Every structure is written in structure tokens, then in C-alpha cells.
Amino acid sequence: MKTTTLPMLARIPTALAHLEATHGIRILYACESGSRAWGFPSPDSDYDVRFIYCHPADWYLTLDEGRDTLNFPMDEELDLAGWELRKALRLLRASNASVFEWLQSPIVYHEALDFRARLAPLLPAAFNLKAGLHHYLGQLRRGVEEDMAAEEVRLKRLFYALRSALAARWIRERHTLPPMEFEPLRALLPVELDPMASELLRAKAEADEMTTVAPPAALVEFLRAEYAASQAERDVLPMPRASSLVGDIDVVFRALLSEAL
């Protein structure tokens, strides 16, 4: 078994402080990005900590840009990875789905300078419906074409596919940024499938990460139908973008950098 929640919650801030000291960076935001944040962890789920950081001023005043990513898969319990501030904001501008999920995470381990609150007003305009649908469609594809084709599927993979299907449906039907957590997405699940989802959630809460189940036929049918619907919709979705977005992100970037250094 992995460590209990309390020791890990004490370990994560220590690990983040160590990164700041050893790499000469300042972490502006750190959150949970995996199944614990999505709302369907197993007892032995690891901790997927993602963070956004900045360097001292001199790092930004050179002709050549330096490394803008830090990855530290520390052990089977804790996985740490981060993006430099400018990289993260460029990815936000490009409607990278991971950035949107990080900024919606219900589990925040560290925040400085009101980081999330300052970026929150930019999220609706920055979110590109087509890019978002493409992201979740890609995740759903593995579930439909590989995982659900087998007689047994890992329970965690079943939930990955279901969450992706519901996020894609949210984009198609509501034309807005989908929530990160499974529970609000679940509102889009057909009523007849909701009891099945509840039962699977109960099983997931007690099962380990390797537990497999026979994929329920009704759920597989739903996932395949959602995959087909998202494929059909992908090329006709509108792409609303705010003309001032680049300037707005630049303003936030300069403000955060000046205050952090």
C-alpha cells in the first residue's frame, strides 16, 4: 500500500519548497491533476502534482530561451511536473486542455499572488471549442477502440473514457469550457446509466489501480455513440476568440513576473 493521505499532504509542500531552493525558481501555483482531482481516486492512486513557476529576472533577459519544463517522477506515490510561467501562458493562449484543467483543480497545494483568480477571467475567451473537443476525442478514442474492445478493462481506464466522453459532450452541447471534475460532468449522463455510474464509483473507491471489470454493454454503447457524435461535430464547431486576449495575457504575465521577482 502507498502512504496515507496525511503524510503525503505534508510531503508535497516540502517537495515544492525543495524544488524552489534547488532550481532557483518561484512556484506560483501547484495543484492535483489526476484521478484525485477528477473525483474518482482509488485507495492507492498516486499524487499527480502539476505546478507553474517563474525564474529570476536574468532568465528572461537572454537571447536564447532556457528550458521551460521540469519533470520529477519521484516514486510510485508522487509525480511532480511543472511548466515555466511564459510557457504555461502561451499554452493557455493556444487552448491547451491541460492548463485549463490545472486552473480548475479542486485540490490546490500552493498558490502565490492570487494566481488562479487573475487568470480565471481569461479562461472563457481563451478556450477554443474545436481544440478542446479534439483533445477529449483523442482520449476517448483509446477507450472506445482499445480498452472497451477487450473482455476486461481496468476500472480506471473505464472512468478515463467516461469522463472524456462527457467532457466532449459538454463542449458540443453547451459550447463552453467543461469542468474538470467528474461530478458536474455526470449531469450529462443519460438517466438510465446513472445508477451504473454510482455503482462503478463505489467500486473504484475500494479497488486498487489494477482492478479490472467487464465493461457494461450499455456503457460501451454510450461511449461509442459519444465518440461518433464528437467526430461528426468536430469540424463544425465555432471558434469564438476574444481579439484582446493576447494583450490581456501579456498584462497578466508582466504583472505576475514583476511581483514575483
Report the CATH number that the domain containing residue 92 is assigned in CATH: 3.30.460.10
Pick the closest to residue 30 from 48, 42, 45, 56 (CA basis): 48
Residues 83 and 153 in one domain: no
> Do the Cβ atoms of 211 and 155 come closer than 8 Å?
yes
DSSP codes, 201-239: HHHHHHS-TT-EEPPPHHHHHHHHHHHHHHHHHTTT---
Residue in this structure with the C-alpha cell 477554443, named with its chain if needed: 128
Residue 154 makes CB contacts below 8 A (sequence gap 6+) with: 147, 209, 210, 211, 212
Region of 55 (left: φ > 0; alpha: ψ -120 to 50; beta: rest) is beta
Do 95 and 15 reside in the same domain of the chain? yes
Is 173 in contact with 237 (CB distance < 8 Å)?
A: no
Structural domain total, the chain: 2
* Domain extent at residue 121: 5-126+241-260
For residues 104 and 187, state if they share a domain. Answer: no
Q: How many CA atoms lie within 13 A of 90 on its CB side?
A: 6
- 114 and 219 together in one domain: no
Are 226 and 140 in contact by the 8 Å Cβ rule? The answer is yes
pLDDT value at residue 2? 41
Three cell numbers, residue 110: 500552493
pLDDT tens series, the chain, 261 aa = 343 455 888 999 999 999 999 999 999 999 999 999 999 999 999 999 999 999 999 999 999 999 999 998 778 899 999 999 999 999 999 999 999 999 999 999 999 999 999 999 999 999 999 999 999 999 999 999 999 999 999 999 999 999 999 999 999 999 999 999 999 999 999 999 999 999 999 999 999 999 999 999 999 999 999 999 999 998 888 766 556 788 999 999 999 999 998
What angle do helix axes 217-233 and 155-174 make, rounded to 10 degrees? 40
Are 121 and 128 in contact by the 8 Å Cβ rule? The answer is: no
Q: Could you give the CA distance from residue 12 to residue 67 in angstroms, rounded to a whole number?
A: 23
| Residues 246 and 169 grouped into a single domain | no
Let me know whether 44 and 120 are in one domain.
Answer: yes
Q: Where are the beta strands (DSSP E) in 132-226?
A: 153-154, 212-213
Is residue 77 domain-shared with residue 109, that is, in the same domain? yes
Measured CA to CA, the distance from residue 136 to residue 106 in angstroms comes to: 20
Contact present, 157 and 143 (Cβ < 8 Å): yes
Q: Which residues pair with 30 in a beta bridge?
A: 51, 110
* Sole residue written with cell 504583472: 255
153, 174 contact by CB (below 8 A): no
pLDDT at 239: 67
- Check residue 1 and give its pLDDT: 32
Query: Based on the domain organization, do 255 and 220 belong to the same domain?
Result: no
Whether 26 and 49 map to the same domain: the answer is yes
Q: What DSSP designation does 39 have?
A: T
**This model's pTM is above 0.75:** yes
What pLDDT is attached to residue 4? 42
The pLDDT score that the predictor gives to residue 243 is 62
Question: Is residue 121 located within the same domain as residue 133?
Answer: no
* One domain, residues 34 and 147: no
